[in-house]
Amino acid sequence: MRRPGARDDSMTLTSGSADALKTLFGKDFVDGRSADAAGYGADSNRYYKAQPGAVVFPRTVQQVQELVKLANRQNLALVPSGGRTGLSGAASATAGEVVVAFDRMTRIGEVNMTDRLVECEAGVVTQQLHEAAARAGLHYPVDFASSGSSRIGGNIATNAGGIKVTRYGLTRDWVAGLEVVTGRGDVLQLNRGLIKNATGYDLRQLFIGSEGTLGFITSALMRLTVPPKNLQVMLLAFKDIDALMAASAQFRRELPVTAFEFFCQNGLQKVLEKSAREAPFDTAYPFYGLLEFEAPYESVLEDAMDLFESLSDSGQVADAVLAQSGRQAADLWFLRESLSETLSHFMPYKNDLSVQLADVPAFMARIDACVAQHYPDFCVVWFGHIGDGNLHLNILKPADLAAAEFKARCERVNADIFACVQAFGGSISAEHGVGLQKKNFLGYSRSAEEIAMMRAVKAAFDPNGIMNPGKVLPD
């Protein structure tokens, strides 16, 4: 018997099943051999070749349900596709699977002002939700550099984090209800927007972060909040990571911080070279912290400046610049938010790690030593969400090194890096998910007993293993 989550090579698209899909979807069916199909068969991880058998574009939950039932009858593997901004290969169709693209399911309902809720179909782009909330005088706070292309269904399926977690938490914290189609073909309405609901297992939470392996999210009730007032942005320079972490902790204790991001000099230099912008400081420093905080009253801004002066006098902060306008704030954010796009030109091998905040300096020192030993000829870029302990380790591919060889070299060292993560009780994937890239390393963050339970959950919701097979769970 095939283990739950394992890929089954017999789950290929036959001419008969292709005809059934064409009947179900009509013009919303795309043959996998067409030029248009490949773009839907992969996410932003460039190490997996897209080979979809077909792409379909459902428009209703009923159509999704019919598709899943058809897939069960004809043993078809289904792979979900949202904004395809993921980095773990979770949305990659590499063996002739049917890609289920939610681009047509983009309805946003009316905002419920009393409960501060809004219903979104799975294909709604994150930025569209931001705009709908703003029109109602409210705020959807989960934000990231890919907000202009990522979609709500994918955000939920990967429990997306981003740049505001230190204040607002993860996507999980803003999902009030879900409509899902399970791998069995059942349609479930989960939680229905309730704040209190003590009626047993919260199945909604199982689907959040499940990467499409249990079923498909078709719509969600998302919570909204009041907008922040008078956001201020400050870029700070640090001589070492200990000083950065100490300053971050103090700012978060004394100010209403909405974000605290960091990046290293290597990353800043790449951004400046690519964008032809001027450096923010006359002197280069090893690390930079991007602080955003809410200043609804003048006294808060005065407190922030007093705190900065104190940290500067003590030598913790080497230099700083406070944005004096919205344009200057956007320019400072650009230095952090454009990092991923800038580094993509170097085909980086990414590790998305997290540890407790108190462990960050010691953890980074251990990882730096490991990287220096194994990658002496590679450029290494650190950046991430230092306010929540999420560190992005990027190894940049040398121009003269073949992609396959570079990937193989990086993967040989993963065991050492992940052993370090395990020693600190951290996670091998803070927010990018497991997908294809990290499934066989899952044991560094989850016990054998936990993985066995995850297989049992998968089998309960998807007994025939048709939902995104070969992802998350180890081979």
pLDDT at 4 over 80: no
Buried b (16+ CB within 10 A) or exposed e, 399-426: eeeeeeebbebbeebbeebbebbeebeb
Report which of 273, 163, 174 is spatially closest to residue 222, judged by C-alpha positions. Answer: 174
* Beta-bridge partner residues of 216: 181
pLDDT at 462 over 50: yes
The interaxial angle of helices 326-337 and 265-275, nearest 10 deg, is: 110
Say how far apart CA 441 and CA 88 lie, in whole Å. Answer: 12
Report which of 211, 4, 207 is spatially closest to residue 90, judged by C-alpha positions. Answer: 211
Q: How many CA atoms lie within 13 A of 186 on its CB side?
A: 10
Structural domains of the chain, ranges and CATH numbers in brackets: 15-104+452-461 (3.30.43.10), 117-223 (3.30.465.10), 231-340 (3.30.70.2190), 346-432 (3.30.70.2740)
pLDDT confidence bin for 258, thresholds 50/70/90:
very high
Give pLDDT, residue 10. Answer: 65
pLDDT in tens, 141-190: 999 889 999 999 999 999 999 899 999 999 999 999 999 999 999 999 99
pLDDT in tens, 266-278: 999 999 999 999 9
Q: Are strands 98-101 and 54-56 parallel, antiparallel or unpaired?
A: parallel
Say how far apart CA 29 and CA 13 lie, in whole Å. Answer: 13
Say how far apart CA 20 and CA 98 lie, in whole Å. Answer: 12
> What average pLDDT does this structure show over 349-358?
94
Cα separations (Å) of 355 from 160, 359, 392, 420, 430?
Answer: 17, 6, 12, 10, 9
Among 13-17, 233-237, 245-249, 335-339, the least confident range? 13-17
pLDDT in tens, 11-20: 778 889 999 9
Spatial contact of 264 and 381, defined as CB atoms under 8 Å apart: yes
Spatial contact of 390 and 364, defined as CB atoms under 8 Å apart: no
pLDDT confidence bin for 6, thresholds 50/70/90:
low
pLDDT in tens, 381-427: 999 999 999 999 999 999 999 989 998 999 888 899 999 999 999 99
Which distant-in-sequence residues (6+ apart) come within 8 Å of 83 by Cβ?
A: 125, 126, 146, 149, 150, 151, 154
pTM: 0.93
pLDDT in tens, 424-461: 999 999 999 999 999 999 999 999 999 999 999 999 99
Q: What is the mean pLDDT of the chain?
A: 94
pLDDT at 2 over 60: no
Give pLDDT, residue 3. Answer: 63
pLDDT confidence bin for 320, thresholds 50/70/90:
very high
Residue 355 falls in which region: left (phi positive, over 0), alpha (psi -120 to 50) or beta:
beta
Give pLDDT, residue 375. Answer: 85
pLDDT confidence bin for 45, thresholds 50/70/90:
confident
Rg (CA), the chain: 23
Among 125-129, 363-367, 372-376, 417-421, the least confident range? 372-376
